[in-house]
């Protein structure tokens, strides 16, 4: 995948997230598409920095538009991307079970870190209230992550030096 | 330098994180809402988002209606019942209206001004919001061209929503009253001499205290803005949920259920 394609995917996710998804939500819950993209792209393209670069860029964009302090979302997204890259470095097994485990940990980590940074910046909302929708939002996000993974896995390019393909 | 060249990936990661942390600290400590760069980004995104929002509106009006036929049927029945009730109330109000006109004439004669609900308002549609987050910060499609300024109060038909945090040509960013620690001065609707202060709390409500320890505030009391501070007088904030006497501060502390359902907002009005 080229960087411009990843950038276009993040831009589309941003626009869909803030308009269309609010209409086609399920019981008021919507997945976090930017987080889903960061997780999937970091998990699948461990040699690239899509999650870090676009997570930072679009996180800043989100915070400018929908937060009182800029930085909470991009920091949380970059930490998630780095966490997944480290996991891929030391436990490099790419399968759907691992994806689900890594996604679940990343989603919880992201929301806790995002809340913590928002709290530090002066948002009065407590962690229990902030995370009350997490089970459903997280589950919905996991479904979207799985769909993204199953679509993108078909487009993974075989590595020339990979002995499996010789 | 040599270490950076040898560890390019780690260096880039550290640089990005450092830049974001600095950005976070600066925007937390300094009020940057008037920053022209942020304004340009918001303006650009608002223009693009509006197109997507219009598509979303088409879906909302046409497609979702098909799947919610039963709910719509129930809504029609409920509205018909409400309509009948309102017709009955209208007949009763004709008498009240005559009394009101007499009182208005009397107040004009006495040059009496206490409470006015005549506001200069601009109605606006919500063009974009992040539904996956717990915050209630959103963008509307009216801005400086409609005379909106930062700090203006935002309401809907239920009551006080929040205030304009930043604005530009064709867009305004709204922060809800439950999303910030800013204090709002209020008074009881039934006794407007009883004042207090509330702000957003950790469970998505508002809480605060009465200025007078002898206050007769009780559960179920309606509170409205007092007109002291940011918000104009008389905007409905919500109903008092709990009242407790704090022996340390010697004040009556209250929690308030906001009148507005922040998750179901579609249209708002800005008071200029």
How close, in Å, is residue A41 to chain B by CA atoms?
16
Nearest to A111 by CA among A18, A40, A35, A58: A35
> Which of B16, B173, B200 lies closest to A124 in CB terms?
B200
Query: Same structural domain for residues B72 and B164?
Result: no
Residue B99 sits in the same domain as residue B127? no
What is the C-alpha to C-alpha distance for residues A133 and B224, in angstroms, rounded to an integer?
30
* B260/B207 same-domain check: yes
Q: What are the residues whose beta carbons fall under 8 Å from the beta carbon of B5, sequence distance 6 or more?
A: none
Mean pLDDT of B109-116: 54
In a domain, B57, yes or no: no
Q: What is the CATH number of the domain that holds B180?
A: 2.40.10.340
pLDDT digits (tens, 9 = 90+) for A45-76: 888 888 888 999 998 888 888 877 788 899 99
Task: Compute and round to an integer the Cα radius of gyration of chain A.
Answer: 16
Give the pLDDT band (50/70/90) at residue B115.
very low
What pLDDT score does B118 carry?
63
Same domain (yes/no): B100, B235: no
Mutant choice from B16, B62, B170, B181 vs A, greatest count of A C-beta within 10 A: B16
Q: Identify the weakest region by mean pLDDT among A81-85, A108-112, B203-207.
A: B203-207
* Chain B residues near residue A129 by CB distance under 8 angstroms: 134, 202-204
The number of domains in chain B is 3
Q: Is residue B174 part of a domain?
A: yes
pLDDT(B108) > 70:
no
Cβ-Cβ pairs closer than 8 A, A with B, add up to 161
CB contact, 8 Å: B23 with chain A? yes
B195-223: b or e for each residue (b if 16 or more CB lie within 10 Å)? bbbbebbeebbbbbbbbeeebebeeebbb
Do B137 and B241 lie in one domain? The reply is yes
Give the structural domain span for A65: 3-155
Containing structural domain, residue B79: 68-109
Is the CB of B25 less than 8 angstroms away from the CB of A71? yes
Asked if residue A162 belongs to a domain, the reply is no
**Would you say residue A35 lies in a domain?**
yes
Task: Tell me which residue of A38, A109, A60, A122 sits closest to B23, measured CA to CA.
Answer: A60
Residue B60 belongs to some domain of the structure: no
Task: Say whether pTM exceeds 0.80.
Answer: no
Q: A78 versus B1: which is more confidently predicted?
A: A78
DSSP-derived letter for residue A158 is: P
pLDDT exceeds 60 at position B44 = yes
Express each pLDDT in A138-165 by its tens digit: 999 999 999 999 988 876 566 666 666 5
Query: Are B135 and B247 within one domain?
Result: yes
Q: Is A166 a member of any domain?
A: no
Q: How do residues B153-198 score in pLDDT, each as one tens digit?
A: 898 888 888 888 888 888 888 888 887 767 889 988 888 888 899 8
Q: Please name the residues between 122 and 181 in chain B that touch chain A, using a CB distance below 8 Å.
A: 127-135, 137-139, 165, 173, 175, 178-181
C-beta atoms of B23 and A70 within 8 A: yes
> Are B256 and B161 found together in one domain?
yes
Give which of B9, B23, B134 to mutate to test A binding, by max A Cβ within 10 Å.
Answer: B134
- State which H helix or E strand residue B173 sits in: strand B171-176
User: Which of A65, A82, A117, A126 is most worth mutating to test chain B (most B CB atoms within 10 A of its CB)?
Assistant: A65
The answer as to whether B83 is a domain residue is yes
Q: Is the ipTM of this complex over 0.90?
A: no
Residues of chain B neighbouring A51 (CB-CB closer than 8 A): none
DSSP element (H, E) containing B167: strand B160-168
A49 to B203: CB separation less than 8 angstroms, yes or no: no
* Residue pLDDT, tens place only, B62-107: 665 665 667 777 888 888 888 887 877 776 666 566 676 776 676 6
Query: Looking at the 3D structure of chain A, how many domains does it have?
Result: 1
Question: Of A15, A49, A69, which has the smallest distance from its Cβ to B49's Cβ?
Answer: A15
């Amino acid at each position: 995948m080229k960087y411009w394609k990843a950038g276009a995917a993040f831009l589309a996710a941003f626009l869909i997230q803030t308009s269309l998804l609010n209409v086609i939500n399920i019981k008021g819950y919507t997945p976090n598409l930017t987080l889903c993209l960061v997780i999937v792209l970091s998990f699948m393209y461990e040699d690239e920095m899509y999650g870090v670069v676009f997570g930072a860029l679009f996180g800043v964009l989100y915070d400018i538009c929908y937060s009182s302090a800029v930085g909470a979302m991009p920091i949380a997204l970059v930490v998630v991307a780095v966490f997944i890259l480290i996991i891929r470095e030391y436990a490099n097994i790419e399968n759907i079970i691992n994806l689900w485990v890594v996604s679940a940990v990343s989603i919880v980590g992201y929301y806790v870190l995002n809340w913590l940074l928002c709290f530090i910046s002066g948002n009065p909302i407590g962690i229990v209230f902030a995370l009350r929708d997490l089970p459903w939002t997280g589950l919905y996000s996991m479904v979207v992550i799985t769909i993204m993974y199953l679509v993108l896995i078909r487009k993974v390019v075989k590595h020339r030096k990979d002995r499996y393909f010789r | 330098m040599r270490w950076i060249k040898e560890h390019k990936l780690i260096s880039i990661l550290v640089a990005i994180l450092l830049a974001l942390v600095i950005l976070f600290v600066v925007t937390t400590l300094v009020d940057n809402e008037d920053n022209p760069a942020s304004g340009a980004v918001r303006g650009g995104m608002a223009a693009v988002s509006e197109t997507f929002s219009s598509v979303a509106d088409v879906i909302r009006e046409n497609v979702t209606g098909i799947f919610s036929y039963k709910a719509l049927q129930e809504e029609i029945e409920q509205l018909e019942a409400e309509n009948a009730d309102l017709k009955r109330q209208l007949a009763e109000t004709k008498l009240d209206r005559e009394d009101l006109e007499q009182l208005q004439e009397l107040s004009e004669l006495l040059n009496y001004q206490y409470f006015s609900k005549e506001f200069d308002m601009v109605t606006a549609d919500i063009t974009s919001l992040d539904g996956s987050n717990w915050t209630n910060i959103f963008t509307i499609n009216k801005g400086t061209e409609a005379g909106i300024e930062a700090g203006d109060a935002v309401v809907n038909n239920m009551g006080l929503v929040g205030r304009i945090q930043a604005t530009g040509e064709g867009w305004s960013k709204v922060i809800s009253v439950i999303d910030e620690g800013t204090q709002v001065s209020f008074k009881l609707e039934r006794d407007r001499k009883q004042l207090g202060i509330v702000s957003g709390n950790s469970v998505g409500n508002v809480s605060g205290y009465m200025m007078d320890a002898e206050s007769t505030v009780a559960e179920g009391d309606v509170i409205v803005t007092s007109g002291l501070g940011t918000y104009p007088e008389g905007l409905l904030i919500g109903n008092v949920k709990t009242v407790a006497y704090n022996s340390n501060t010697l004040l009556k502390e209250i929690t308030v259920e906001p009148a507005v359902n922040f998750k179901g907002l579609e249209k708002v009005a800005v008071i200029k």
